[in-house]
Amino acid sequence: MKVLIFGSGGREHALAWAIQKSERVTEVVCAPGNGGMAGIGRLVPVSLGDLDGLVQVALAEQPDLTVVGPELPLSLGLVDALQQRGFKVFGPTKAAAMLESSKSFAKRFLQRHQIPTANYAVCTTAEEVEKAIEFFHAPIVVKADGLAAGKGVVICQSRRAALETAHGLLSGKLLGSKEQQIVIEEFLTGDEVSFLCLTDGKHVAQLVPAQDHKRIGEGDTGPNTGGMGVYSTDSILEPEMTEWILHHIARPSVRGMAAEDTPFVGVLYIGLMMTARGPQVLEFNARFGDPETQAILMRLDSDLVEALEACVEGRLSDTEFRWKPGASACVIASSGGYPGSYQTGFEITGLEAAEEVPGVKVFHSGTSLNGGRVLTSGGRVLGVTAAAATLPDALKLAYTAMEKIHFEGMYFRHDIGHRALKKG
């Protein structure tokens, strides 16, 4: 079986690593891939925003299964385009991916299906913002409607700041392009949980839960990033709470999309805030999380290809998942300056020594190969990931491996897992 993976991040490296472990897989092709994925499969250069180029890669490669990693090609309709040409492809259609690509769509969908989420207003003009903001107390969350790579959400400490942010988004000053719509939202407090499910459009199979660390600074300070580290243990959610989330959030979401004739097939990533009034949906992603996937797949003990294929073929209810008990953790090494501007092209050393630490796997996020050397090529560079019997053990292994790795300007958080460790 030949599997084509679209994407170039740590998530896709982890997917490629898990996919090539399947006995049925004989060839993995990554487009465009990265320096780490080069050790698993052949790399084919392509731009992830070029729909025609992506389709051409599939036509040339004729894969038996295609997996689309990132949100951009999903939002452009890559799955629709490949399905029309008869390919078996894992991921939601453009219409279903709107759960991620339009926050106003997602909020209205949640409301239509009575799925718990923060109170909100959708605004298209400055006048609408001024009227709506009267109904909110600070802090107020202001969100760009469209994809913004983690930069489209601003938590504002006053109504005045919320107004300014809203104007900045609508006028294009904040993100560089004008937002047609924005979402204003009630601020929620609690622990965040990444609840990822595989779905074939009807059935739902939850993956093990994970907790991301979105802020750049230790102690969860500073600006938001794509995610600086993550851990997964079963104790993040009690079994009763998992059941509650499946019953009140995950299954109604999948049923709702099917009822609206836009069945969702793929990974539904439900970002939850565990508030005093119960779990509330913060956001949907229409894809695997990054770095959640690195930690989650380290714990998977059954065949990922079988599970992905079962989603595409509508037979997820027959699929068995096995998970390793214990814990996993992924710590991100980023370029100095990220999430602001940063330099790339620095040589990375110590990768082999890091992977010699038992239980450790280093997933590449932003790397490229140059001759025999591995160079930095992105903001998030590596995801040093470990699995062990307990979370403290997994973290210790990941940090031991991290200490062996060097590149100029390398930065990582030393406190991944701190919230779980505090709770004991």
Of 161, 186, 153, 167, the C-alpha closest to 123 is: 167
Size of interface with ligand AMP, in residues (CB under 6 A): 14
Q: Which is nearer to ligand AMP, 145 or 309 (CB)?
A: 145
State the pairing for strand pair 182-186/120-123: antiparallel
Residue 227 contact partner, candidates ligand AMP, ligand GLY, none, CB within 5 to 8 A by sort of partner: ligand GLY
Strand partners, 284: 270
Which long-range contacts does 317-326 make (Cβ < 8 Å, 24+ apart)? Answer: 317/200, 317/202, 317/203, 319/205, 321/205, 321/207, 323/208, 323/299, 324/298, 324/299, 324/300, 324/387, 325/234, 325/389, 326/233, 326/299, 326/387, 326/388, 326/389, 326/390, 326/394
The interface region with ligand AMP, picked from 25-33, 80-88, 179-187, 334-342 by CB under 6 A, is: 179-187
Residue 179 within binding range of ligand GLY, rule CB under 6 A? no
Residue 153 within binding range of ligand AMP, rule CB under 6 A? yes
Spatial separation of the C-alpha atoms in residues 5 and 252, rounded to whole Å: 29
Q: Which of 55, 68, 78, 188 binds ligand AMP (CB under 6 A)?
A: 188
Residue 289 within binding range of ligand GLY, rule CB under 6 A? yes
Q: Is the dihedral of CA 341, 172, 77, 71 positive or negative?
A: positive
Q: Which of 192, 218, 260, 355 binds ligand AMP (CB under 6 A)?
A: 192
Q: Which is nearer to ligand GLY, 80 or 100 (CB)?
A: 100
Binding positions for ligand AMP, 242-281, rule CB under 6 A = 271
Cα–Cα distance list, 236 to 188, 192, 304, 305, 391 (Å): 19, 10, 23, 26, 11
In the complex, minimum distance from the CB of residue 305 to ligand GLY, in angstroms, rounded to a whole number: 22
Residue 292 within binding range of ligand GLY, rule CB under 6 A? yes
Q: Is the dihedral of CA 14, 20, 23, 29 positive or negative?
A: positive
Residue 282 contact partner, candidates ligand AMP, ligand GLY, none, CB within 5 to 8 A by sort of partner: ligand AMP
Spatial separation of the C-alpha atoms in residues 18 and 41, rounded to whole Å: 12
Of 231, 161, 270, the C-alpha closest to 393 is: 231
Torsions phi, psi of 63, nearest 5? -70, 155
Binding positions for ligand GLY, 224-263, rule CB under 6 A = 227
Of 3, 4, 9, 8, the C-alpha closest to 292 is: 9
Task: Print the binding letters for residues 185-224 with ligand GLY: x by CB under 6 A, - otherwise.
Answer: ---------------------------x------------
In the complex, minimum distance from the CB of residue 285 to ligand GLY, in angstroms, rounded to a whole number: 5
Q: Which is nearer to ligand AMP, 185 or 303 (CB)?
A: 185
In the complex, minimum distance from the CB of residue 129 to ligand GLY, in angstroms, rounded to a whole number: 26
Of 220, 183, 229, the C-alpha closest to 385 is: 229
Residue 98 within binding range of ligand AMP, rule CB under 6 A? no
Q: Which of 30, 57, 141, 401 binds ligand AMP (CB under 6 A)?
A: 141
Task: Print the binding letters for residues 257-286 with ligand GLY: x by CB under 6 A, - otherwise.
Answer: ----------------------------x-
Residue 2 contact partner, candidates ligand AMP, ligand GLY, none, CB within 5 to 8 A by sort of partner: none
In the complex, minimum distance from the CB of residue 229 to ligand GLY, in angstroms, rounded to a whole number: 10
In the complex, minimum distance from the CB of residue 324 to ligand GLY, in angstroms, rounded to a whole number: 21
Sites of contact with ligand AMP (CB under 6 A): 118, 141, 143, 153, 185-188, 192, 214, 224, 271, 282-283
Chain residues binding ligand GLY by CB under 6 A are 212, 227, 285, 289-290, 292
